Amino acid sequence: MAPKYISRVNAIYAAQNFDVIKRIRAFDPHELKGQRAGEWALALTRRCRLIVIPSEDGETVTIKEVTKHYGG
């Protein structure tokens, strides 16, 4: 999982804005809902995801955590 984490972080760092990240299908980017509204998930593995919070203008991204998806 570490290589994919590093890959995602490097991609976020290199991207002009979060819209670029949202278009990378391999990351399976999707906006979360409910209590996690405003957060986005990027796939690391089938069961782990990187949770990020883009700024309103999409110019900066805060990495919040790595989670196991669906408790798997």
Predicted TM-score (pTM) of the model is 0.90
**Residues 25-69 pLDDT 10s:** 999 999 999 999 999 999 999 899 999 999 999 999 999 999 997
Which residue range forms the structural domain that includes residue 27? 2-71
- What DSSP designation does 47 have? S
Q: Which pLDDT belongs to residue 1? A: 79
**Considering only CA atoms, which of 58, 24, 37 is closest in space to residue 8?**
24
CATH (domain of 63): 3.30.2310.20
**Considering only CA atoms, which of 54, 52, 50 is closest in space to residue 66?**
50
Distance CA 39, CA 72 (A): 20
Structurally, the chain folds into a number of domains equal to 1
